[in-house]
Amino acid sequence: MSIRSPTPPSPWPHLTPKISPRIAMALSNPKGPLSRIRLSLSRFRSVATINRLLSLDSPKCPWTRPSSPPTRRDIPWETYMTTKLITGTGLQLLRRYDKKPENYKAQLLDDDGPAYVRVFVSILRDIFKEETVEYVLALIDEMLAGNGRPKPHGAIANGASNSKKEITTINDVLKGLVEWLCTQLKNPSHPSRGIPTAINCLATLLKEPVVRSSFVQADGVKLLIPLISPASTQQSIQVVRVVILTLKNLLHKGTFGAQMVDLGLPQLVQNLKAQAWSDEDLLESLNQLEEGMKDNIKKLSSFDKYKQEVLLGHLDWSPMHKDPIFWRDNITSFEEHDFQILRVLITILDTSSDPRTLAVACYDLSQFIQYHPAGRIIVTDLKAKERVMKLMNHENAEVTKNALLCIQRLFLGAKYASFLQA
């Protein structure tokens, strides 16, 4: 079994200027001939958007500087395979495609289009030599110029089109991309371009529902809020503008609006409005975001927000979990639809691998036991005890602490368990 070397941080921030406008135009057209691979290569469309928004065009761009075309270079594909940066199948595909006549390349794309897309994407992900990246981008540019039409497939195979090996779906590609972008928001690989690049990529990608789901799993909104806080004055106005526009577009999607309220965004928006912004568009976006959150607060009761959070399967320490008023006022709502929300909460104990989610789920079960008159009986009948007891040996201290609290309340009753916790 071959062992891949750890993947180093992506070099996108350094390669931002190197995207052909043709790539951006073709990939941004959802009804164009390349609509089936648009999502797979959405990073190119996103980076092109960054070029436009942040004016990162550079005289070093390989399509603008007076030098030989990148496709005339000789790339050491065999060396890349020897070092496990490309697979043997990838090498064979590249040998068949590289330096061949245009009509022959077009036939290869018709026969094995998704496989070639995967090879190109994997090279841009795993190989960071500038000349090689430019070369592959030039190949993609040529493909788009020739209106290459890879045959549509719902997934991209790890090799030839008829391979029975593991399948990587477009959703998997996007999920990995979102995770990397969120990592850039926390620890940018480039001091000045890392965060702007990630923000603009996300602003484009979040139009896709699957991306929004991955963004929630990565605690994306939590990562955006600090970028516009008063303490983050080092961020440029471009970053603030794009973050505000992104939050505004997410406001009415799923549970994003409720999460923004819980994270204190209304007060933050008021603080931002008080600053002397010369950008009228930014002020208008702030006003629209503020009004949208007011409407969101009116529409969503506390229990509605709680239900959405539980059904999404991703729990966090938002204020309602530890608010006695919330539990006293809404405890009977847990009885709706044969304790549906309680059943989902218990299922999360089996299905989630996120320590924070498991800790909050254990705590909420202990709260239900404390505030519902028959809480201990109901939780026992739903067979939650065994699942919580398994978590008492969890490697995460937060999980074990809240699992212990839940078991104490289950065995001793809320009064005595709370006494032991004091």
pLDDT tens string 235-246: 678 888 889 988
Q: Do domains 179-300 and 321-421 have the same CATH topology?
A: no
Q: Domain ranges in the chain?
A: 12-174, 179-300, 321-421
- Report the percent of the chain where pLDDT is more than 70: 71
With a cut of 80, say whether residue 81 has pLDDT above it. Answer: yes
Question: Which DSSP letter does residue 9 get?
Answer: P
**What pTM, to 2 d.p., does this model score?**
0.42
Would you say domain 179-300 falls under CATH 1.25.10.10?
yes
Q: Do 370 and 411 meet the contact criterion of CB atoms below 8 Å apart?
A: no
Question: Which DSSP letter does residue 151 get?
Answer: P
What 3-state DSSP class applies to 156? strand
Other CB atoms closer than 10 Å to residue 52's CB: what's the count? 12
Closest to 6 (Cα-Cα) out of 68, 85, 80: 85
Give the pLDDT band of residue 164 (cuts 50, 70, 90): very low
pLDDT for the residue numbered 235: 66
Span 114-158, pLDDT tens digits: 788 788 888 877 887 878 877 887 787 776 565 444 444 444 444
Q: Cα 313 vs. chain centroid, distance in angstroms?
A: 16
Buried b (16+ CB within 10 A) or exposed e, 304-323: ebbbbbbebbbbbebebbee
Query: How is domain 321-421 classified at the CATH fold level?
Result: 1.25.40
CA distance linking residue 16 with residue 191, whole number of Å: 14
What 3-state DSSP class applies to 265? helix
Mean pLDDT along residues 263-283: 82
Q: Which residues contact 253 (CB under 8 A, 6 or more apart)?
A: 212
Choice between 416 and 97, residue whose per-residue pLDDT is larger = 97
Residue the block writes with tokens 């440029």: 236
Span 167-202, pLDDT tens digits: 456 677 778 788 888 888 888 887 778 888 888 888
Give the pLDDT band of residue 315 (cuts 50, 70, 90): very high
- Report the percent of the chain where pLDDT is more than 90: 18
What 3-state DSSP class applies to 168? strand
Q: Among 146-150, 314-318, 357-361, 362-366, where is mean pLDDT lowest?
A: 146-150
Residue the block writes with tokens 């550079």: 58
